[in-house]
A and B are shown apart, each in its own frame.
Chain A
Amino acid sequence: AQSVSQHNHHVILSEAASLELGCNYSYGGTVNLFWYVQYPGQHLQLLLKYFSGDPLVKGIKGFEAEFIKSKFSFNLRKPSVQWSDTAEYFCAVNGGATNKLIFGTGTLLAVQP
């Protein structure tokens, strides 16, 4: 069965610090990869996605993610975080001929002003 691991459960950063959130998945075939963000009290919103092509994907609000097939990873990065980036971040994978998304357990990011 597919699974998604987010090893950082809770991250605290100061404004302007760089961010990298890890995401690893277990599936040997073709995958579609997503990062969603959930701001406090809100629903999930798509940050970025990877289907094929350039493994470095740029999303909204200055976020990017790199797909490294050999490492089964899809880490999320942002060079300089802001207080408004405080949110929970979810990695998700859709593998093979299925429309079922498998989510990681989420990483709660707190950015201190």
Chain B
Amino acid sequence: DAGITQSPRHKVTETGTPVTLRCHQTENHRYMYWYRQDPGHGLRLIHYSYGVKDTDKGEVSDGYSVSRSKTEDFLLTLESATSSQTSVYFCAISDRAETDTQYFGPGTRLTVL
């Protein structure tokens, strides 16, 4: 398995509170991604990064921000959590664009009450 960890693995929070999820990789891969997984929707891309300090929006970026200050860390922040952001969040990494395989972390289950 690729060296990807996510923290926390489970979190329960209340509406309106800020939440930060962390993805850490030991593979020195250039690309990192945040997805959310919801029943009936599969996985949807929230944001991705193509290098340190280089990020871009995905399909469902509203309400989320990201930061990448080091190659190995990619943070996802919910500035003010809402119940619609209750989901399972997966981080993924890949070494090159286009033809490279993405490898996924173990996921973070977030519940917003």
Residues of A within 8 A of B (CB): 4, 6, 32, 34, 36, 42-46, 49, 51, 90, 92, 94, 97-101, 103-106
Which A residue sits closest to B44, measured CB to CB?
A103
Query: How far does the alpha carbon of A43 sit from the alpha carbon of B1 in the complex, in Å?
Result: 10
Q: Which of A6, A46, A92, A99 contacts B97 (CB 8 A)?
A: A99
Q: Which of B42, B58, B101 contacts A105 (CB 8 A)?
A: B42
Q: Does A103 lie within 8 Å of B101, measured CB to CB? A: no
Query: How far does the alpha carbon of A32 sit from the alpha carbon of B101 in the complex, in Å?
Result: 10
Instruction: State how many angstroms separate the Cβ of B32 from the closest Cβ of chain A.
Output: 11
Q: Does A101 lie within 8 Å of B45, measured CB to CB? A: yes
Q: Does A32 lie within 8 Å of B98, measured CB to CB? A: yes
CB of B34 within 8 Å of the partner chain: no
Which B residue sits closest to A91, measured CB to CB?
B42
Q: Which of A49, A51, A90, A98 contacts B43 (CB 8 A)?
A: A90
Type the 1/0 row for B35-75, where 1 means its CB is closer than 8 Å to any CB of A: 00000111111001010000000100000000000000000
Q: Does B43 lie within 8 Å of A103, measured CB to CB? A: yes
Known contacts A32-B98, A32-B99, A51-B99, A99 near B31 by CB under 8 Å = yes
Kindly list chain A residues whose C-beta atoms are within 8 Å of the C-beta of B45.
100-101
**In the complex, the 8 A-B pairs of residues with the closest C-beta atoms, listed nearest first:** A99-B97, A103-B42, A44-B104, A105-B42, A103-B43, A43-B104, A43-B106, A106-B42
Known contacts A43-B107, A105-B41, A100 near B101 by CB under 8 Å = no
Kindly list chain B residues whose C-beta atoms are within 8 Å of the C-beta of A4.
42
Q: Which of A42, A97, A101 contacts B102 (CB 8 A)?
A: A101
A-B contact pairs, 22 of them (CB 8 A): A4-B42, A32-B98, A43-B105, A43-B106, A44-B104, A45-B104, A46-B101, A51-B99, A97-B98, A99-B31, A99-B50, A99-B94, A99-B96, A99-B98, A100-B45, A100-B48, A100-B58, A101-B33, A101-B45, A103-B44, A105-B42, A106-B42
